[in-house]
Structure 1
Amino acid sequence: MQQQFTLEYWIDVDWYVGKLQEVPGVFSQGETLDELEDNIRDAYALVMEEQLSNSRPESKTKEIQRERGLA
């Protein structure tokens, strides 16, 4: 399934600089808008790869009761 994101970009001293609005922390730059688009895709892939490697396999939750007499 293909996802779509919004690339917010600006020009900073002859470089195109941008970020994905929907994914905090994904920033990149390029000498052209096309290069910025390629670089932002690479940055997104790296962030997703890192998140997958840091995730827990099967996280579960359990309700517990506080013991009497504890504050």
Structure 2
Amino acid sequence: MHRISSVKTQKYIYWQDETMFIGYLEAYPDYWTQGETIEALEENLLDIYDVLAKQILKILRD
């Protein structure tokens, strides 16, 4: 079962597969990550968001 939640203001989709939570940011469905807990998954999703946001800012500044 897929669920939609939010990290800060970013919505994400996640599900549990055996012992891991797997998910991706709704705005960036190509970038999946996982975590042993929902908290670990959210932390990994925030890392992905931070990296992508920095790349977008760099492109806009160039």
Same-fold status (TM-score > 0.5): yes
Identity, % of aligned positions: 30
Structure number, greater radius of gyration:
1
Q: TM-score, with normalisation over the residues of structure 1?
A: 0.62
> What is the total number of aligned residue pairs between the two structures?
54
- Choose between structure 1 and 2 for higher RCO, CA contacts under 8 A separated by at least 6 residues: 2
Q: TM-score, with normalisation over the residues of structure 2?
A: 0.69
More strand by percentage: 2
What is the aligned-residue RMSD (CA, Å)? 1.8
Structure 1: gaps of 5 or more residues = 58-71
Structure 2: gaps of 5 or more residues = 1-7
Question: Structure 1 residue runs of 4+, over 3 Å off?
Answer: none
